[in-house]
Structures are given as structure tokens and as C-alpha cells.
Amino acid sequence: MDKGLPLPQDCRDFLHGLRMRGRYALFLVFVVVVCVFIEKENKIISRVSEKLKQIPQALADANGTDPALVLAENASLLSLSELESAFSRLQRRLHNLSLQLGVEPAAESAPWGGSARARRHVLLMASTRTGSSFVGEFFNQQGNVFYLFEPLWHVERTVTFEPGAPSAAHWALVSRDVLQRLLLCDLYSLEHFIRPGPEQHLTPALFRRGSSRALCEEPVCTPFVKRVFEKYHCKERRCGPLNVTLAAQACRRKEHVALKAVRIRQLDSLQPLAEDPRLDLRIIQLVRDPRAVLASRMVAFAGKYATWKKWLAEGQDRLREEEVQRLRGNCESIRLSAELGLRQPTWLRGRYLLVRYEDVARWPLQKAREMYRFAGIPWTAQVEDWIQTNTQAAQDGSGVYSTQKNSSEQFDKWRFSMPFKLAQVVQSACGPAMHLFGYKLVRDADSLTNRSISLLEEHGTFWVT
Ligand SMILES: *[C@@H]1O[C@H](CO)[C@@H](O)[C@H](O)[C@H]1NC(C)=O
Ligand SMILES: *[C@@H]1O[C@H](CO)[C@@H](O)[C@H](O)[C@H]1NC(C)=O
Ligand SMILES: *[C@@H]1O[C@H](CO)[C@@H](O)[C@H](O)[C@H]1NC(C)=O
Ligand SMILES: *[C@@H]1O[C@H](CO)[C@@H](O)[C@H](O)[C@H]1NC(C)=O
Ligand SMILES: *[C@@H]1O[C@H](CO)[C@@H](O)[C@H](O)[C@H]1NC(C)=O
Ligand SMILES: *[C@@H]1O[C@H](CO)[C@@H](O)[C@H](O)[C@H]1NC(C)=O
């Protein structure tokens, strides 16, 4: 999995060994140069500078005498063969690295170097019913972005975990691993999770293929094959079943990669991706008023929310405690992720952006431009056109996943149909998250439905551009 990361360890082993052997000083210089080259590729130059600082120290200990003589007295010298094996490991790594660079010529690693050609990897992290399909389209519409819609859907459907505590950790590991491979255009990794399994890398079963432009255009769109049923087929044209090899090639040809995922529970599980030298990750966390999210979920996933509906309809006093706990758990995991992101730990610096759906709905162009600036991806007329068309159109009622709606009219519609006691439950379970994101609590049913009362704090520092 971590093809790239062990490199510095090899360098370290090797340098460590050489330090003991002064008479290889020239060789050492060579190795340092090699390591510096590799480190440059791997964005971990700081570790080498540490080593460079230590080397003069080791030589200075010799104080004018031939360092080899001094060092040779150390009885615990690494044997030459150990040095050699460390070096040949290093060579193999080098070889692999150049192979990787050959395969992915666009994988430049200078994150803030401002190179226009740098490949970016955008992860849109959200939860269901937060408008993530809509925001995902902002990236899908850019002709040079390879966009995948909810690839973790397949993972969730096929991987079953033991009930209990470890499952969340397992889920985090598996989903992170799949995301990492997908961002690197290894689409084959998804095949293990597609049911029925692809044959010869051919599948008609990729979830929401039609939501990914790159999978519906030439050359990934192969001639239509009669009698092959594809549930999530391309919208504008009919294509043959998806050839995963062609999809992976298209992914590598595009300048950037973007994924949308509503199934990442914790931001901190993504740290290895942010630190992967092969990726230049940008995480956009999309949040929405949890009252609106619940209202929307009760419509979209009616079966899952049957107990809520019953509670509302039958006028019972109390909702089942586990339902409230689940809601609280969801809100808390979103809040904890956002707090981590806003704290900007070193590994996330410049890589995290928090966005409120309500702001996107009200100022779609401005927020989309902000996301593009953050991601370092060039804005195009195509993106602008799509946003113009799809935020001003009247709703056409084309289903629950419709992205075509008059967004500035839609975003707070939920207020006028939500029973106040439902809003109260959400407020008590999600208070801390609502406070962080600037969603105002309401005290009574009248304030909930009074249009002249805004439920949004506007003075937060992190969502205003
Ligand atoms: C280096 O050698 C000089 C003279 O032999 C001595 O005075 C000095 O303390 C030595 N320095 C170290 C760091 O060993
Ligand atoms: C000898 O090598 C050991 C292990 O690498 C190290 O801990 C020790 O400091 C060395 N001693 C000298 C005199 O360099
Ligand atoms: C180099 O890559 C090959 C094939 O991908 C792999 O089997 C091998 O373990 C790699 N070698 C090193 C040192 O990473
Ligand atoms: C899928 O595409 C690859 C690359 O063009 C091709 O070699 C392969 O034959 C295709 N697979 C099938 C089953 O058509
Ligand atoms: C969308 O909603 C806004 C705000 O209510 C309104 O000004 C605009 O006319 C609407 N546009 C369409 C096409 O319905
Ligand atoms: C709505 O809120 C505004 C501002 O608080 C208030 O002046 C107005 O009377 C309210 N309208 C209704 C119908 O309660």
C-alpha cells in the first residue's frame, strides 16, 4: 500500500550505516545527493536536512583525525554487507519511483509551488442530504477533472463488519485505502467490491456511472451493447458496459481527480492520504443545517426513518433514545472533523476547506470559485455555465437527487414544513455542531416559520470569502 513512503527509511538506514564508516565519505556524499533527489520527490526534505545536520557532527567528533580511524574503533559497526543491502533496497525504490513517475507524468508534488500543471486530488467530504451531489457537479463539469460519484457505496455494500466497536476503525481503514488507490487512478481496486464482479475488467454495475462525465465520454463510452442492462447508465448517451481499464486510462489522462464521499466518518482517518507524496490532496468538508438534513432524509430514506415518522404521527412523548443517540453521534462526528480541520494541524495546512451548503445555495458562483481557488484547479466557462443554468432553473421535480433547482429559493424551504418538536430534538442532539457552523436555534414554532428571521450566523470567520 505505501509504495512511496518507505523510501526515507531506506535512506535513513543507509546514512546511519555510512556514518560509521568514514572511509566511504565520498560515497556518502553521493548517497546524500541521491537521497536529496528522492526526498525532493517525496516532500520530506526536512528529514534529510536533519541527517545533514547530524553528519558534520559525526565527522567533527573525529576532530582532525581520519574519521575512518576513529569510527573503525566502534565495535558495533554495521557490516559492509548490511550497507550494501540497504543500498540495493534504495536502488530498487529508485527504480520503482521512476516507474511510477513514468506512469503518472502529471504527479508533481510541489504543493504550493504554484505550478499550473500540478495534479490535484480533491476529496469532497459530506454526509447524505447536504447538497454534495450538487457541489460535486462543480468539479464534474470541469473537462479536465476525473470525477467519481460515491465510489465507497460499493465498499459499504460488500464489506460487512462485526457489530461493535472495532467496525468503525475497520471501515476507516478499508475506505481510506480504497480512496487512496482511486485518487491514484487505480480503479481496479474498486472491482473487488462491485457485485456482480466485473469480468475481464468489464462491468455494467458501477454505481452512478452516469454522474461521472469522464465515464460517459469518448473513449470510455464504448458502443452500446444490446441486452446488457446497466442500471446507472450514462444519461446523455448509451454506452457499452464500463471497461475499467479504459476508465483508469482516462483518469490518468485528466489533469485532476475529484471524488465525492458521504461515507467518510472521521477527517483524521485521511491523514495518510494528506501525507502521501504521490497525492496533493484538497479536502472540502460540506456541512448543512442538521434540521434541514433530517427533514430531507425523512423524505428520501422514508423506511430508515419510520420510527421518527411514527413518533410524529402518533404524538408519543418520547422518541426512542437510540434514534436520538444516532443523530447525536452523526452530528458529533461531523463537528469533530470540522474542529480538527479548522485547527489546521501541520498535515492539513492548506488542505482543508469548510463550506456550508446554505452559502453555496445563496452564492453558488462565489462559493464555487472559492473552492476552485482553494483546490488550485483552473476555472472554466463550462463550470460557470453549468452553475448559472442549474441554480436559477425552477424545480422540475425530477427526483430526490435532482440538482436542478432554484437554489436560493430552496435552501430553507424545510423550515415551513418541519414540525417544531422535530426541530427541538435536532437542536438538543446537535447543539454543539450547530453552534460551530453558525446555525441558530429557534425557541418556538413561530420563529421557525418566520421568514424575516434568518437561522444563519453570517459573521463566522471561516465561510465568508
Ligand atoms: C580537538 O583537538 C584539540 C587538540 O587536539 C583539542 O584541544 C579539542 O578539545 C578537540 N576537540 C574535540 C571536540 O574533541
Ligand atoms: C558505536 O555504535 C553504537 C551503535 O551504532 C553507538 O550507539 C555508539 O555511540 C557508537 N560509539 C562510538 C564511539 O561511535
Ligand atoms: C518495486 O515494485 C515491485 C512491483 O510493483 C514490487 O514487487 C517490489 O516489492 C518493489 N520494490 C521495492 C523495493 O519497493
Ligand atoms: C478494455 O480496454 C482495454 C484498453 O483499451 C482493452 O485492451 C481491452 O480489450 C478492453 N476489454 C474488453 C473486455 O473489451
Ligand atoms: C429563483 O429565486 C430567486 C429568489 O427567490 C428569485 O429572485 C428568482 O427569480 C428565481 N428564479 C427562477 C428562475 O425561478
Ligand atoms: C417575524 O419576525 C420579525 C422580526 O423578529 C417580527 O418583527 C415579526 O413580527 C415576526 N412576524 C410574525 C408573523 O411573527
**Chain segment 354-387, per-residue pLDDT in tens:** 999 999 999 999 999 999 999 999 999 999 999 9
- Is the CB–ligand 2 distance for residue 160 below 6 Å? no
Q: Give the pLDDT band (50/70/90) at residue 26.
A: low
Higher pLDDT, 79 or 259: 259
44 belongs to a structural domain: yes
The residue whose CA has the least distance to atom 6 of ligand 5 is: 409
242 belongs to a structural domain: no
What dihedral angle (degrees, nearest 10) is formed by the CA atoms of 428, 429, 431, 433?
A: -170
What's the pTM?
A: 0.69
Distance between CA atoms of residues 104 and 73, nearest Å: 47
Partnered with residue 203 across adjacent β-strands are 242
76 belongs to a structural domain: yes
pLDDT value of residue 44 = 43
Task: State pLDDT tens for residues 287-330.
Answer: 999 999 999 999 999 999 988 998 988 877 778 889 999 999 99
32 belongs to a structural domain: yes
232 belongs to a structural domain: no
C-alpha cell at 231: 442500471
What dihedral angle (degrees, nearest 10) is formed by the CA atoms of 89, 94, 98, 99?
A: 0
DSSP letter at 142?
S
Backbone angles phi, psi at 62, to 5 degrees: -70, -20
Q: Give the pLDDT band (50/70/90) at residue 36.
A: low
Enclosing domain of residue 21? 9-100
- Is the CB–ligand 4 distance for residue 200 below 6 Å? yes
Compute the mean pLDDT over every residue in the chain, rounded to the nearest whole number. 80
- End-to-end, the C-alpha distance of the chain in Å comes to 38
How many domains are contained in the chain? 1
The residue whose CA has the least distance to atom 2 of ligand 2 is: 76
Higher pLDDT, 116 or 284: 284
Of 22, 23, 16, 1, which Cα lies nearest the Cα of 87?
Answer: 16
- Is the CB–ligand 4 distance for residue 273 below 6 Å? no
52 belongs to a structural domain: yes
- Is the CB–ligand 3 distance for residue 93 below 6 Å? yes
Q: Which residue has the cell 461521472?
A: 212
Ligand minimally distant from the alpha carbon of residue 74: 2
374 belongs to a structural domain: no
Our separate counts of H helices and E strands in the chain read 20, 7
Ligand minimally distant from the alpha carbon of residue 392: 5
What radius of gyration do the chain's Cα atoms show? 27
Of 462, 44, 457, which Cα lies nearest the Cα of 284?
Answer: 462
48 belongs to a structural domain: yes
pLDDT value of residue 396 = 46
> 21 CA to middle of ligand 1, Å?
21
Q: What region, left, alpha or beta, does residue 228 occupy, with left being phi > 0 and alpha being psi -120 to 50 degrees?
A: beta
The residue whose CA has the least distance to atom 7 of ligand 4 is: 245
